[in-house]
Amino acid sequence: MRTGRHGDRSGALGRACVSGLLLGVVILGAAVLAVTLARRLGLGAVLGYLGLGVVVGPWGLGWIDDVEAIAHLAEFGVVLLLFVIGLELQPKRLWHMRRAVFGLGGAQVGATAVLLALIAALLGLHVKSAIFVGLALAMSSTAFALQMLAEKKQLTARHGRAAFSILLFQDLAVIPLLALIPLLGPTRVTIGIETLTRAGTALGMVALVALGGHFLLRPALRLVAASRVHEAMTASALFIVAGTALLMQSVGLSMGLGAFLAGLLLADSEYRHELEADIEPFKGLLLGLFFISVGMSVNLDLLVARAPLVAALTAGLIAVKFAVLYRLARVWGGTRSSALQLAFAISQGGEFAFVLFGVAEGKHVLDGNQAELLVVVVTLSMALTPFLSAAGDFFVRRVRPAQARRYDTPPATERPVIIAGLGRFGQIVARVLRARKIPFTALEIRPDQVDVMRQFGIEVYFGDASRVELLRAAQADQATLFVLAIDDEEASVRTAEVVTQHFPGLPIYARARNRKHAYRLMDLGIQHIRRETFVSSLELASMVLQGLGMQRADAQHSIELFRKHDETLLDTLHPHNDDDEKTRYLAQESARELEELMQQDTKLPDK
């Protein structure tokens, strides 16, 4: 048997793959255990991930030493999170939020940075270093805050919207902060041709992504959707996120900004919910890995050795940010309860601080000991987020609870109706709702039908309504009712099964193609069912009777008798629909009863 360099490389590669697979199995198994235990204890998934990271990290059991490699992969979870945020934030809505984003967000970053910079200067830091530390610590954790708010279904609440606005401004502010770091270092920096060129290249890349996304993304997604291959749509979603993130990174901008911009460009498209559903599993797993990596990065030796200083700095950071957030929320018109919830939600440090501290250390704005201490402080403040969130809920229940119930929580959803299937049946329902100005979310699997409906001004999204991820993205858990109008019988029943299983409290108003379809829907406990040709057939039968000379009132009375009798028969035959002989017998008996009833009631006029 020949072995050589190629064989050695293959063997090394195989061992590396096995080692990586083993590491993945360990992390996944431990994550399932940790999150399940944390949930059972009422602590939330985020705290479970953090605790797992501390246990398996280099300062815990030491199962994983290369934290940096895992952190790089985990950062993509934050990128995916920003893409989903962009998808949910239509440009029109972003424009309406400009005052909150740039006003409230800018005020928070500015006020917090000034106070923290003053404290840092008083503690002995150089003025330039203190300014940078103040700005870096003013950032909050997008991943932690949004995940906690989403778990508690508070993203649409008043404090949730305010938190999102502030976090969005902070994400945008990271870019100029990175550019500011060289100016704060000991080396004198001049703004010359090279600097201006880099700035121009960055702006050009933003413009390129915006134009390319506007003119190319939707036509490309339309072609992919027409293939009806679900895996192709998932691959497209990941390609869009990774591609735009890498393009931005290539010119020195944040990967998250690229992903957010891509999501923003697709927020008004018909593929919005489908893309969000495709991304959601990857986002959830990688965000979990991100929280694990944060737990791994906690330097327990430093935490123990300098416990009083770390505790004081962490408490000071949270207290300053809490005070600023609470005051600004009150100035912006928030109630006491919403201001408290906002302050508790985003008073921690943020993940972007890790990036900023690393770059600052490289540019000699901070020394290694200072950067390491600040990383521990930020990490500890993030780890305290679940407890801060719980404390916020505790205090809010005791601060004007009636006012909190009345003002802080908006209606469950702005779109109370979800319509699955916008064919010849569903579009009639959609048009009626639209005429009454009742907002709805329409889902349709056929891209050509999506295009046609959008040409007539009906807002419809591409996607398979039988996918629970898509239904969650369309906020089915907050809808008032669900209209099931899918043409295909199998797809209709499959969707009904998913809705009844995952959203048991959501009433379903279903269209059935025929009696068999109606029976299958009745088996699932659906009560509001209409056979698609039944009513129109009865109307035509009424016209036929009148054409034969019967008075309109008599004809309509006959039709009403038939309708009631047939609906009763439908319920009678339902338990026996699998027994052909029994069904046939009952149908024949029913037909004879109906004939007798009709003959006793009305007659055709004599000719």
Question: H helices within 123-216, ranges in order?
Answer: 127-137, 142-151, 158-184, 193-212
Residue 380 clears pLDDT 80, i.e. is over it: yes
The residue to which tokens 């008032």 are assigned: 480
Distance CA 165, CA 345 (A): 13
Q: What is the pLDDT confidence band of residue 598, given thresholds at 50, 70 and 90?
A: low
| Beta partners for residue 530, in sequence order | 511
* Residue 282 Cα distances to 27, 79, 95, 271, 361, angstroms: 15, 11, 29, 18, 32
Least trusted range by pLDDT, from 287-301, 330-344, 366-380, 420-434 = 287-301
- Residue closest to 274 by CA, chosen among 81, 415, 86, 467: 467
| Beta partners for residue 531, in sequence order | 512
Distance CA 105, CA 599 (A): 77
- Interior/surface letters 9-32, b for 16+ CB within 10 angstroms, e for the rest: eeeeeeeeeeeeeeeeeebeebbe
Report pLDDT for 42: 62
HSE-CB of 552 using CA atoms within 13 angstroms? 1
Distance CA 77, CA 84 (A): 11
Q: Which of 206-210, 277-281, 288-292, 477-481 has the highest mean pLDDT?
A: 477-481
Residue 280 clears pLDDT 60, i.e. is over it: yes
* Residue 545 CB partners (closer than 8 Å, separation 6+): 554, 555, 558, 559, 604
Mean pLDDT of the chain: 76
Report pLDDT for 125: 84
Report pLDDT for 156: 66
| Beta partners for residue 461, in sequence order | 443
More confident residue, 323 or 370: 323
pLDDT in tens, 314-334: 999 999 999 999 999 888 877
Residue 482 clears pLDDT 90, i.e. is over it: yes
Q: What is the pLDDT confidence band of residue 588, given thresholds at 50, 70 and 90?
A: low
**Angle at CA of residue 579, ends 578 and 585, nearest 5°:** 135
Total length of the chain: 607
**CB–CB of 171/257 below 8 Å?**
yes
Say which DSSP state 460 is in: E
Distance CA 301, CA 596 (A): 92
Distance CA 216, CA 312 (A): 52
Strand pairing category for 440-444 and 417-420? parallel
Q: Count the helix, strand and coil residues of the chain and give each as a percent rounded to the nearest 5.
A: 70, 5, 25
| Beta partners for residue 509, in sequence order | 483, 528
The residue type at 316 = G
Report pLDDT for 408: 36
- Residue closest to 110 by CA, chosen among 321, 253, 305: 321
Report pLDDT for 320: 92
Least trusted range by pLDDT, from 291-295, 310-314, 399-403, 437-441 = 399-403
Q: What is the mean pLDDT of residues 136-155?
A: 78
Q: What is the pLDDT confidence band of residue 111, given thresholds at 50, 70 and 90?
A: very high
Residue 318's H or E segment, with its range, is helix 307-331
Distance CA 520, CA 518 (A): 5
* Residue 442 CB partners (closer than 8 Å, separation 6+): 418, 419, 422, 426, 430, 453, 458, 459, 460, 461
Q: Please state at what angle helix 272-296 crosses helix 45-56, rounded to 10 degrees.
A: 40
Distance CA 558, CA 555 (A): 5
**CB–CB of 345/145 below 8 Å?**
yes
* Two tokens, residue 80: 């995916």
- Residue closest to 171 by CA, chosen among 70, 90, 102, 262: 102
Report pLDDT for 584: 64
Residue 492 clears pLDDT 50, i.e. is over it: yes
Distance CA 255, CA 245 (A): 4
* Two tokens, residue 225: 């959707």
* Two tokens, residue 332: 């912006």
**CB–CB of 317/138 below 8 Å?**
no
Q: What is the mean pLDDT of residues 231-243?
A: 81
Report pLDDT for 23: 63
Distance CA 292, CA 27 (A): 9
In this structure, how many other beta carbons lie within 10 angstroms of the beta carbon of residue 63? 14
Q: What is the mean pLDDT of residues 220-242?
A: 80
* Two tokens, residue 147: 């995940």
pLDDT in tens, 401-421: 443 333 333 333 456 889 998
Q: What is the pLDDT confidence band of residue 586, given thresholds at 50, 70 and 90?
A: low
Q: What is the mean pLDDT of residues 7-14?
A: 50
HSE-CB of 237 using CA atoms within 13 angstroms? 25
Residue 441: helix, strand or coil by DSSP? Answer: strand
Report pLDDT for 400: 47
Domains of the chain listed by start with CATH number: 25-404 (1.20.1530.20), 412-532 (3.40.50.720), 548-607 (no CATH)
* Two tokens, residue 239: 């390609």
HSE-CB of 374 using CA atoms within 13 angstroms? 31
Q: What is the mean pLDDT of residues 282-303?
A: 75
Residue 494 clears pLDDT 80, i.e. is over it: yes
pLDDT in tens, 516-561: 888 888 888 888 888 877 777 777 777 787 887 888 888 888 878 8
- Residue closest to 163 by CA, chosen among 343, 315, 318, 323: 343
Q: Please state at what angle helix 534-547 crosses helix 552-573, rounded to 10 degrees.
A: 150
pLDDT in tens, 73-90: 767 777 777 787 777 666
Q: How many helices (H) and strands (E) does the chain have?
A: 29, 6
Residue 157: helix, strand or coil by DSSP? Answer: coil
**CB–CB of 453/427 below 8 Å?**
yes
Report pLDDT for 132: 86
pLDDT in tens, 170-200: 877 776 776 677 677 665 555 556 656 666 7
Report pLDDT for 18: 46
The residue to which tokens 């949004």 are assigned: 146
**CB–CB of 159/408 below 8 Å?**
yes
Residue 115 clears pLDDT 90, i.e. is over it: yes
| Beta partners for residue 511, in sequence order | 530
Strand pairing category for 481-484 and 460-462? unpaired
Residue 122 clears pLDDT 80, i.e. is over it: yes
Q: What is the pLDDT confidence band of residue 118, given thresholds at 50, 70 and 90?
A: very high
Say which DSSP state 158 is in: H
More confident residue, 405 or 59: 59
* pTM recorded for the entire structure: 0.58
Q: What is the mean pLDDT of residues 274-302?
A: 76
